[in-house]
Amino acid sequence: MTEVAATTWQAELARALADGGVEAAAWVPDKRLAPVAEALDALAVPVRTLTREEECVGWAAGFRAAGGTPLVLMQCSGLGNSLNAIGSLVVPYGLGFPLILSMRGALGERNPAQMTLGRTAVPMLELLGVQVFRLRRPGDAGMLARGALDVADGARQLAPIVLEPELDLAP
């Protein structure tokens, strides 16, 4: 993985989200997401650091209910912290927004503690009735961002963009 390649898809993702109308973002810091957050900040999209991923989901639900287009960034382990807010707020109230989900516990993982949430994150979302969109190739970042914004704004659904490990793994 080179720094230039990593910056490219992350910057493209941030650019497409900002161009598509994202006004503000919330996250709990994550190393892989940091370049996306930095790029958003450089594009004048404020990124709020909250204490827990469930809070980020609540914050975004409120921002959306007030008429805005928010964004949440989290690692897949944080999805485990967010299930009730998604299941009892985002889904029943129809408060859609894009969610950048950085995968751990997948191909290339070396930490045993990450594997369970890595294996179950997407199935949990699907059990909640949430359709996910997988980003594997760096060149697809802008397309997925635009498509996810359509799903969030138009179809009023939570629209997770799943950052698969292939994005950063050498072929």
DSSP per position, 106-137: STT---GGGHHHHHHHHHHHHHTT---EEE-S
| Residue 154 in the binding site for other proteins (CB under 8 A) | no
Could you tell me where the DSSP H helices lie in 31-112? Answer: 34-42, 53-65, 76-80, 83-85, 91-93
The C-alpha atoms of residue 70 and residue 47 are separated, in whole angstroms, by: 10
How far apart are CB 92 and other proteins at their closest, in Å?
Answer: 4
| Residue 128 in the binding site for other proteins (CB under 8 A) | no
Residue 82 identity (one-letter amino acid)? S
How far apart are CB 29 and other proteins at their closest, in Å?
Answer: 13
Query: Among residues 46 and 108, whose Cβ is nearest to other proteins?
Result: 46
Q: Write each residue from 73 to 92 as x if it is in contact with other proteins (CB under 8 A), else as -, in one continuous string.
A: -----------xx-xxx--x
The C-alpha atoms of residue 18 and residue 103 are separated, in whole angstroms, by: 22
With contacts defined by CB under 8 A, name the span among 2-10, 31-39, 61-69, 132-140 that binds other proteins: 61-69
Q: List residues near other proteins by CB under 8 A.
A: 23-24, 26, 46, 48-52, 54-68, 70, 84-85, 87-89, 92-95
